[in-house]
Amino acid sequence: MFTGIIDTDRVLATRHKTVPVRLVIAVLAAILLAQPAAAQKTVSFPTEDGGVVFADVYGAGDRAVVLAHGGRFNKESWAAQAGTLVAAGFEVLAIDFRGFGKSHGPTDKNPPDPPFQLDVLAAVRYLHKNGAKSVSIIGGSMGGSAAGDASILSQPGEIDRLVLLGAAPNSPAEKLKSPILFIVARDDAEGDGELRLPGIRAQYEKAPQPKELIILDGSAHAQYLFQTDQGERVMREILRFLSAK
């Protein structure tokens, strides 16, 4: 697995292994052949604090991926990426966070800082309970932060890998228990104009190995990256990372 920072202009690496040609071919085939997928079914499952999460299931297999959306998206927003992942051999579970769709917390009240990490962890455990041997997470924006926090809360081995789009854990990154790939656009900014990259880079530096940080040109945030001319590359990097030995 590659470990280091990939910039659009240069590569700074601490360790690098050649990616097998067969893996490259498989990744490209998955991207080229995939179509936006229709969910096979919608399921629900409880969270440890008494909430209920609703999620769409795509494909089948013993390698699974949880898709955790950003604040302006929902579980249906992942249909195109789910199709690509299914074509690459993954089962996919796209969740609605509490307060989105039919998902909800233990009460009707919405706290200022909902424990979204519990929704992600419930999804991971649902997949393991239903036959998945490995479960990774792709999260965008708040979903990425929740994915990172879920890794910190998880038991060793529960979460195979993490992909965070325009996000970093809210909790200290040195406590992450999973290999992690950060992907962020260089000019991605908060509403007040503050760039997200410095904070994400700081959490990347604290995260344990193995880890990667890919910095893209542009300003697209999280899932919006898929709507740019770099969307195919983003998906290719994700598949490479999830499929590497």
pLDDT in tens, 41-77: 999 999 999 999 999 999 999 999 999 999 999 999 9
CB 44 within 8 A of CB 53: yes
Rg (CA), the chain: 17
Residue 13 has pLDDT above 70, yes or no: no
Residue 25 has pLDDT above 60, yes or no: no
225 DSSP assignment: G
What digits encode the pLDDT tens for the residues 152-209? 999 999 999 999 999 999 999 999 999 999 999 999 999 999 999 999 999 999 999 9
Residue 34 has pLDDT above 70, yes or no: no
Tell me the two tokens of residue 145: 């932060």
CB 178 within 8 A of CB 159: yes
User: What percentage of residues in the chain have a pLDDT greater than 90?
Assistant: 80
Residue 20 has pLDDT above 60, yes or no: no
3 state DSSP class of 94: strand
Nearest of 155, 142, 134 to residue 242 by alpha carbon: 134
CB 4 within 8 A of CB 212: yes
CA distance readout (Å), 21 to 5, 27, 175, 240: 22, 10, 34, 11
Mean pLDDT for 68-88 is 97
d(Cα 15, Cα 176) in Å, to the nearest integer? 20
What digits encode the pLDDT tens for the residues 102-123? 999 997 667 778 999 999 999 9
User: What percentage of residues in the chain have a pLDDT greater than 70?
Assistant: 85
Residue 18 has pLDDT above 70, yes or no: no
Q: According to the model, what pLDDT value does residue 15 have?
A: 36
Q: According to the model, what pLDDT value does residue 109 have?
A: 67
d(Cα 156, Cα 196) in Å, to the nearest integer? 29
Give this prediction's pTM: 0.88
3 state DSSP class of 232: helix
What is the helix (H) or strand (E) element at residue 215, kind and residue range?
A: strand 211-216
Q: According to the model, what pLDDT value does residue 181 have?
A: 98
Q: According to the model, what pLDDT value does residue 32 have?
A: 45
Give me the sheet containing 3-6, strands edge to edge. 11-15, 3-6, 211-216, 180-185, 162-165, 134-140, 63-68, 91-95, 52-58, 41-46
CB 140 within 8 A of CB 73: yes
Residue 146 has pLDDT above 60, yes or no: yes
Mean pLDDT of the chain: 89
